[in-house]
Structure formats: C-alpha cells, structure tokens
C-alpha cells in the first residue's frame, strides 16, 4: 500500500471515529484500519466503560470465527488485570507490548487464533508463533488508559518489525486520542440531550397535570394570554373560555374513594379530548374543574354547539371500578371581547358564569353577562356570612304540620331550617345549595336534627295521644357521613325518642346525584328502625329502581305535580300514577304544596293519605306549635 494511500486510510478512519454515532462502528473502523494498514487477520479491541469502575468490555473481535464471537464478545475485562500482566520487559515502545510465545505468560482472558501449544517450535526465528501476542494500550489526552487493541495473525506470517510496531504504536496513539475526543464529544452531546430532555420533562411537569396529562392552570393562562392578543387581530372570529365543574365528583370521591375519583377525572379528560376540535385547548385547573379555550368559532351558535357536545359526552354513564357512575357538569362560558386586556378578567367571568349555571340546577350552562357580577359578589358575601352564622348560631327551625287528608288530623311535622342575618331573611333556596357546595351543610343539618328531636320529645309529652312524628331532611353530604347512623341513634337516646318517631327524608334527585352510593348508608339507617321517605318523588330519572332497592316507608309527591294556576291539581294523571305506585309498594304518600281546598279534595278522591301546605298550615315557630297542640287537644276533649 502506497504512503499516500496509507494517509488517506488514516484520514478515513479518523473521520469515521468522529462521524459515526455508534461507538462500536467507530471501533470496527479502527480494527479494519489495523488489518488493512498493517496486515493482520485478527484484531481485538477492549474499551473502558467510562463509568470510573475500572471495568472494560471486549467491543470488537475482527476476523475471529463465530464460536469465539458468541462466547467472547462483550465479555468484561478488569483494567487492573491487563495492566498487571503487561510487564515492563514486554514493552517495545511506549504503550506497545510484544509478548513472544517463549516467555512464561498466562492470562485467562487472552484469545488466540488457534490451539497451538506454547512450547511448539517456531518454523524460523522470524516466524510468527500462534502463541505470540501484541498489545497496544489506548490512552486519552491525560494519559489515562481507556482500553487496548490486540492484533493477531500477521498476513506475512512473520513477527512484526520494530518499524511496523512503531507504526502500530503511532497509529493506535493517534486513534486513541481521536477516539477519546470523539467519546468526549459524544458524552457532551449526550449530556446536552439529557439536559434538554430533563428541561423538557420539567417544563412538562410544571405545565401539565400529572393525573390526566392535560395542561394545568399555569399553561392555560399562558395560552389564554396569547389568545387575547390573537383575538384582537381577528375580530370576526369568536373565542370563548369555558369553565367546567363536575357536579357529582365530591360524592363519588367521598363514597368510592380517591382512586375511583381519579379514574373518573381521567375518563372525563378523555371524553373532552374526543369531543372538542383539535385547535381547542383543554386544561385541568383544579380538583374537579376543567377549562377549555374554544378558538376560531364563526358565531355564538358554534360555541353553544360545542358546550352541548361536552355536556352530552359527560352525562353518559362511566364505568368506574366495575359500576356505572352517572355525572353531570355545570359549564360557564365567557366570550372573549376584543377590548379585554387582562386574563384575570376573562377567568373571573367564566368562573362567575359557571357558578351561575350551578345555581340553575345540575347539568346546566350559562353565558356570562355583567349582571352576574352582582350575584357573584352576593354569593361571596353570603358564603362568608354562612360560616359566621354557624359560629353565631343564627339558624333556627320552623315546623310545618303534616295532616291526614280525610279528617285533617295532625300527624307530625317537617323541620325546616331558616336563617335571618343582619341584612334580613335569607331564603332557604339560596343558602342551602350554597351550604352544600361549600361543605357547610352537615353542621347545619345536624343542628336541625338535634333541635327537631328536642322539640318532638317536648311535644309528644305535651300531646301523647297524637303520636306525632318528625320529618327531617338529609342532604347527600349528610347521608355520606360515616357516623350518620350513630349520630341519629345517639340523639334518639338523648331525648328519649323511639326510632319509629323519626322520618328521614332524602330527595330522589339527591340519591341520583350520589350515583346510588348513598344507598348503603340509607340501608344502615333503615336497619336502626328509623323511617325513610323519598322526597320530591317523580322528579328524577330512576324512581322505580330506587323504590325497589331501598325499603322506603313513604314518598312525597313533589309540589310541581300539585300546584296549578286554576287551583286544582296541576298533573292529576301523574299524581294518580304515583299514588298507585306507592300502594303497590305498600308505602305512605304525602303530597307537598297543597294550597287550595280544591287540591285537597282532588287528592282525597285519588286516595292520597297525607298532605302538607299553606291550605292547612304554614311553617311555624316552636311557640306556635305549642299553641296548635293545645288547641288540638282542647278540640279533641270537647
């Protein structure tokens, strides 16, 4: 091979070392260079792992038969072991060692091209013996050993001359430096890649929700800020922010546990991803709250369509831990105005609209308008006042009598909570849903239950012949309290009441909202002997199923089926059907909201047993109840 060709070959190998991404390919190029330039049939390259452990790996076995490749490639070699056998008297040049077969030498990691014995004679003094060995140490620029190269089987069958060994030494030194530089470069590239990957991961973790994989509030605000800028330049397009709050999440999380709650959040995220357009942006911004940024809609009708599609997707039952769970979502929509400059304003508007939607009932949506700010401010103030009201005992209880329709005999009362604060009377329809939402309904409900038990005990002693019962309403949160049955039993004993004296009412819609998870708690209550009444019956979606699953003692027909503008029953066919249904289950019926003599007469004609409403008595305070009892007793005695 000419001198020019040798230089060209060295340059090719050097380029390979620097160019090739895979280290083994670069090492194979060096091995082939040794074979080509210096005429060897076999080349071994062992390289340090680069982890400061002193371990090296046999990375290249060029020219060896398949059995040796299978057995010996990638075997581990200790750096200390090879340095120990490379005695100074074997060193021909620096880092270049020749170990003739005649020397006493044994290293268990050595590889020979044949099985010739060490003591077999050479054919001539210059002939290569199959037990001869050459080792050239690879070092980096700091002189640290990074591996070694061992050629074997010279093509001419002769021991390499000093000039050849010198050339091998220079070549290997050059390749060692090039290899070290290439490895350092690869290490730096890998370090940068890992750094970038780590930064990308940290960025993703900082801007995404770990559970659902959706962007988080921070990322959503960043995207919203960019969208505000974009919206100003595209006034013909409609951009909107949606706040989505899951109506049933708390009851599911409390009843089935956090794992079920997490599964539900993941399912909700997946359904929303599948529902919205690819250019829309979804984020999870809180526990059970999601936000969507709708982009490039032509008009409000398309925004409305997107909202309805989301609600339709979320209302379908979800299979969570082997059971069907039903959910609805309240959605607030804030259309981005071209004049809006602050993301806080847009987010506040969407949040305000969402709470307004919740106030309309579950599974509703509402577009923001500026009149909602007043309602939001009142809601905020009312929440603060509600907490103070519990501490200051501002609540009181009124009692509405329940009568037997045929003779208007007094049968019992329904306990109704009232609140009068510094601004005046707050309607139950305003503060009870708010108390449920902010988690304050349980202490309020327990206050009502204790007061109702105390009053009933007093009134039963005052009028024992009436055998009065007390109806007390339960919210979903109260039903899901794990100690509810113990709380009820404790207060019955405290006031000397029987479990037969109490009727606990829970609305059908509340049972549905809890996705039947409250049924176990209600069954435990029923086992204590207290009576159960399903309230607002007929307004839900699965009435028959709940009547079948739980042994209710009574049902209340919702006032919406009773009231009408002409003073008669508003929905007589439905009322008749409900009464017949109750009869088939052997349970009592109480009609709510009876306000006219005609309604009472029509209910009697339909064989309804009990009723309550303004036609008979309005809700009244404890003193008024005492007066009513006294007059009832006096009438009975006359």
Both tokens assigned to 504:
């606990």
pLDDT of residue 54: 80
d(CA 348, CA 314): 24
DSSP 400-465: EEEEETTTTEEEEEEEEEEEEETTEEEPHHHHHHHHHHTT-HHHHHHHHHHHHHHHHHHHHHH-GG
Domains and CATH numbers, the chain: 3-188 (3.30.450.40), 217-370 (3.30.70.270), 390-637 (3.20.20.450)
DSSP 187-248: HHHHHHHHHHHHHHHHHHHHHB-TTT--B-HHHHHHHHHHHHHHHHH-TTSEEEEEEEEETT
Contacting residues for 354 by C-beta, under 8 A, at least 6 apart? 243, 244, 245, 330, 331, 332, 366
Both tokens assigned to 461:
């002693």
d(CA 407, CA 587): 20
Both tokens assigned to 144:
């640290």
pLDDT of residue 331: 93
Evaluate whether 346 touches 228 at the Cβ level (below 8 Å). Answer: yes
d(CA 47, CA 30): 12
Write the secondary structure of 615-631 as one string of H (helix), E (strand) and C (coil).
CCCCCECHHHHHHHHHH
DSSP 454-504: HHHHHHHHH-GGG--EEEEE--HHHHT-TTHHHHHHHHHHHTT--GGGEEE
Q: Is the dihedral of CA 292, 298, 301, 306 positive or negative?
A: negative
Evaluate whether 182 touches 140 at the Cβ level (below 8 Å). Answer: no
pLDDT of residue 541: 46
Taking residue 297's Cβ as centre, other Cβ atoms within 10 Å add up to 19
pLDDT of residue 514: 54
Q: How, if at all, do strands 588-591 and 610-611 pair?
A: parallel
Smallest CA-to-CA distance from 547 within 587, 505, 491, 579 is with 587
Q: What is the mean pLDDT of each run of 10 residues along the chain (638 residues)?
A: 63 69 78 86 86 81 89 87 84 87 71 70 87 86 84 91 85 75 75 87 87 91 87 81 87 79 91 90 91 86 90 87 83 82 84 86 85 72 85 91 94 94 85 85 94 96 93 88 89 94 82 58 82 75 56 85 88 89 88 93 94 95 94 83
Question: SS3 for 508?
Answer: helix
Full-model pTM: 0.54
d(CA 547, CA 589): 13
DSSP 8-state secondary structure symbol assigned to residue 81: H
d(CA 33, CA 151): 11
Both tokens assigned to 196:
């970038």
Contacting residues for 113 by C-beta, under 8 A, at least 6 apart? 41, 42, 64, 130, 152, 153
d(CA 167, CA 208): 59
Both tokens assigned to 87:
């005695």
Question: SS3 for 143?
Answer: coil
d(CA 192, CA 54): 25
Smallest CA-to-CA distance from 555 within 572, 531, 573, 523 is with 531
pLDDT of residue 542: 46
pLDDT of residue 513: 57
Question: SS3 for 308?
Answer: helix
DSSP 323-378: EEE---EEEEEEEPPTT---HHHHHHHHHHHHHHHHHT-TT-EEE--TTHHHHHHH
Report the b/e string of 325-343 with b at 16+ CB within 10 A.
bbbbbbbbbbbbeeeeeeb
Both tokens assigned to 297:
């809609």
Smallest CA-to-CA distance from 137 within 169, 108, 105 is with 169
């Amino acid at each position: 091979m000419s001198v020019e060709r040798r230089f060209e070959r060295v340059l090719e190998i050097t380029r390979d070392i620097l160019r090739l991404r895979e280290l083994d390919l670069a090492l194979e190029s060096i091995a082939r260079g040794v074979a080509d330039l210096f005429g060897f049939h076999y080349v071994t390259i062992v390289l340090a792992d680069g982890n400061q452990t002193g371990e090296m790996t046999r990375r290249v076995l060029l020219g060896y038969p398949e059995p040796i490749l299978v057995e010996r490639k990638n075997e581990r070699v200790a750096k200390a072991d090879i340095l120990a056998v490379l005695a100074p008297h074997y060193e021909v040049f620096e880092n270049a060692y020749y170990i003739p077969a005649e020397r006493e030498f044994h290293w268990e990691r050595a590889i020979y091209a044949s099985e010739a014995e060490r003591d077999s004679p050479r054919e001539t003094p210059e002939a290569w013996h199959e037990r001869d060995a050459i080792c050239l140490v690879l070092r980096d620029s700091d002189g640290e050993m990074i591996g070694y190269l061992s050629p074997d089987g010279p093509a001419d069958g002769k021991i390499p001359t000093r000039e050849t060994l010198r050339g091998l030494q220079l070549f290997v030194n050059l390749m060692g430096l090039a290899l070290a530089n290439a490895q350092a470069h690869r290490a730096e590239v890998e370090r940068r890649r890992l750094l970038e990957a780590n930064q990308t991961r940290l960025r993703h973790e900082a801007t995404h929700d770990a559970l659902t994989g959706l962007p988080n509030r921070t990322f959503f605000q960043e995207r919203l800020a960019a969208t505000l800028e974009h919206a100003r330049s595209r006034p013909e397009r409609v951009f909107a922010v949606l706040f989505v709050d899951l109506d049933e999440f708390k009851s599911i999380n409390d009843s089935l546990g956090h794992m079920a709650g997490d599964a539900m959040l993941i399912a909700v995220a997946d359904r929303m991803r599948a529902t919205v357009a690819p250019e829309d942006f979804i984020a999870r911004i809180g526990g059970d709250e999601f936000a969507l940024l709708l982009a490039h809609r032509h008009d409000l009708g398309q925004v409305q369509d997107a909202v309805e599609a989301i609600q339709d997707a979320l209302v379908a039952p979800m299979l969570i831990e082997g059971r069907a769970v039903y959910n609805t979502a309240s959605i607030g929509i804030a259309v981005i105005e071209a004049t809006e400059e602050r993301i806080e304003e847009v987010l506040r508007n969407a949040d305000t609209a969402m709470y307004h939607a919740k106030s309309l009932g579950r599974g509703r949506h509402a577009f923001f308008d500026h009149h909602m700010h007043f309602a939001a401010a009142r809601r905020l103030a009312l929440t603060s006042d509600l907490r103070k009201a519990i501490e200051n005992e501002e609540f009181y209880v009124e009692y509405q009598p329940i009568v037997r329709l045929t003779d208007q005999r007094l049968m019992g009362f329904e306990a109704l909570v009232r609140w009068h604060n510094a601004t005046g009377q707050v309607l139950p329809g305003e503060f009870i849903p708010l108390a449920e939402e902010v988690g304050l309904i349980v202490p309020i409900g327990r206050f009502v239950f204790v007061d109702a038990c105390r009053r009933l005990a007093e009134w039963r002693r005052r009028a024992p012949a009436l055998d009065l019962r007390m109806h007390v309403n339960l919210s979903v949160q109260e039903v899901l309290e794990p100690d509810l049955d113990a709380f009820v039993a404790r207060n019955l004993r405290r006031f000397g009441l029987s479990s037969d004296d109490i009727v606990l009412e829970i609305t059908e819609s509340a049972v549905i909202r809890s996705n039947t998870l409250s049924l176990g708690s209600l069954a435990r209550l029923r086992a204590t002997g207290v009576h159960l009444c399903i309230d607002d019956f007929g307004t839900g979606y699965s009435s028959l199923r709940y009547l079948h699953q739980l042994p209710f003692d009574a049902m209340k027909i919702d006032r919406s089926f009773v009231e009408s503008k002409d003073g008669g029953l508003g929905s007589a066919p439905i009322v008749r059907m409900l009464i017949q249904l109750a009869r088939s289950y052997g349970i009592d019926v109480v009609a709510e909201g009876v306000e006219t003599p005609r309604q009472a007469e029509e209910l009697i004609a339909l064989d309804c047993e009990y009723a309550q409403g303004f036609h008979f008595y309005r809700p009244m305070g404890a003193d008024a109840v005492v007066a009513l009892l006294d007059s009832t007793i006096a009438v009975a005695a006359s």
